[in-house]
A and B are shown apart, each in its own frame.
Chain A
């Protein structure tokens, strides 16, 4: 067993360097494909984070009666917070509402007419941010039944539309990722197949002199794994160099938080290493199979 392993590893190493040009071409293809895969993975992760960000914007706003006692408002707030679908509840007082209104007018360059009012016509409100935007309908209904609630902004239509768009984008992202994965698989397997094809004579001789399938197969599988490993390391190196701009792009474009970039980096590292080693080994296995089954 040890001899077999030593033999296979030595042959894999020799095989890689004896046909260095072919091996490097296979490695280069592997790097390109892994970059493609990692790139799409990062885009997909960014897209998901961005969609989540959009969905978190969904909030139900309940305007409160002016005569609502603060104790009851507080009790309502607590009850809402106890629901799992609710992420946060913010109380906006009448004064704050007016201040925000003025800010918005100023930002739009409109004239502030509110100072001609002698009372504040705006209502205090509870802004309910949802962990799950699909719960908007239920929460709205619940709030409508509360006696201290004057009215609830109807956002169900808006929520539905946002959810439709985000779901389409999620599905599209997953489909694109899977398609890219399959393309990468085919290209890598074909490249390795070329490298194996170049050594068909060797395989034929091995079969003729009575080498068992394992002795024929494993050197090639190890060689493919070596190609995958080198490809993965090179890819990670390139991605490492580009980490800074990638992180900035993700933050600016998709609103991915720096903390999430950290876990994304871990995912991408695992993806690239796993895909590299897996594709290399699988590609060789498939390529050699053609010669063994006869």
Chain B
């Protein structure tokens, strides 16, 4: 449709990015996610996030940790604009989500791939159809769907299972199908909310490996998790939330037991 988002200073427009126009050197490592002074209070009076400052540069791999109710889910909801901040600014890919007109929200979501603990696959569709669904419902021409789906299925290693239903797959395979669906729009950011929560440790590691590989391809990854073993072993950036505040943000962090 029309150009809608007035980009913040120094940020390339959507159109430039969609057309693949090159970024200037100064913009090369910019923040994919930036939260400035964000507070979120729900209508029932519960404050889920307080004064949160967070910047995630492009290409980062970030673990988001913290006890249940610390505000991890709220943070994710703010990023995909399922909720709006009560106070402060949430920028995703340079776009202020609160100022985004409602009809532009779908375009924002196409730039973000979301993966959940419970996979959220459609049970009556095959793996291929589940992945293709994400493109169909955004009006992608049929001739471009097939190659794009094949490409992401190969990336997550599900080419052979493409025509099976989710119920015929193992948990790990279902999560890989969900990751394929999240990737099919070629997002700049993957948000994974407890992606290994339902998986046994060995399979969990496979999913982490897959997310790391996707990160190596240049996609920023934000992963909320309780998996101490994984967090500690990988020594990646760790952002810890507690009672709605960021209590720790370490470039090579570990999982602490009070997280």
Contacts and interface: CB of A to CB of B under 8 A. Distances in A.
The answer on A and B forming one complex is yes
Interface of A: 3-4, 7, 18, 201-202, 204-213, 215-216, 294
26 contacts: A3-B139, A3-B141, A3-B142, A4-B139, A7-B136, A7-B139, A201-B120, A201-B122, A202-B122, A204-B120, A205-B133, A207-B109, A208-B114, A209-B110, A209-B133, A209-B134, A210-B110, A210-B134, A210-B138, A210-B185, A211-B138, A212-B103, A212-B138, A213-B103, A215-B138, A215-B139
B138 A205 contact: no
Contacts of A3: 139, 141-142
B137 A206 contact: yes
Nearest to A211: B137
A210 B82 contact: no
Contacts of A7: 136-137, 139
Nearest to A212: B106
A17 B122 CA distance: 16
Nearest to B134: A209
Nearest to B111: A210
B153 to A, nearest CB: 16
B82 A209 contact: no
A138 B232 CA distance: 102
B139 A210 contact: no
Interface in B118-159: 120, 122, 124, 133-134, 136-139, 141-142
Contacts of B133: 205, 209
Interface residues of B, number: 22
A215 B114 contact: no
A226 B180 CA distance: 34
Interface of B: 80, 82, 103, 106-110, 114, 120, 122, 124, 133-134, 136-139, 141-142, 181, 185
B177 to A, nearest CB: 12
A208 B137 contact: no
Given A210-B138, A211-B138, A18 B107 contact: no
Contacts of A213: 103, 106
A210 B109 contact: yes
B122 A211 contact: no
Given A3-B139, A206-B137, A294-B82, A211 B106 contact: yes
A204 B114 CA distance: 12
A209 B137 contact: yes
B46 to A, nearest CB: 18
A210 B122 CA distance: 16
Nearest to A14: B124
Nearest to B187: A210
A209 B109 contact: yes
A294 B77 CA distance: 12
Contacts of A216: 137
Contact of B137 (A18, A201, A215, A294): A215
Contact of A205 (B120, B139, B141): B120
A292 to B, nearest CB: 9
Task: With a 10 A CB-CB cut-off, give which of A18, A205, A206, A207 has the most chain B CB atoms.
Answer: A205
Contacts of A211: 106, 137-138
Given A3-B139, A209-B138, A210-B110, 10 more contacts: A3-B141, A201-B120, A201-B122, A205-B120, A207-B109, A210-B109, A211-B137, A211-B138, A213-B103, A213-B106
Given A3-B141, A7-B136, A215-B139, A209 B185 contact: yes
Nearest 6 CB-CB pairs, A to B? A210-B110, A210-B109, A211-B137, A209-B134, A210-B106, A212-B106
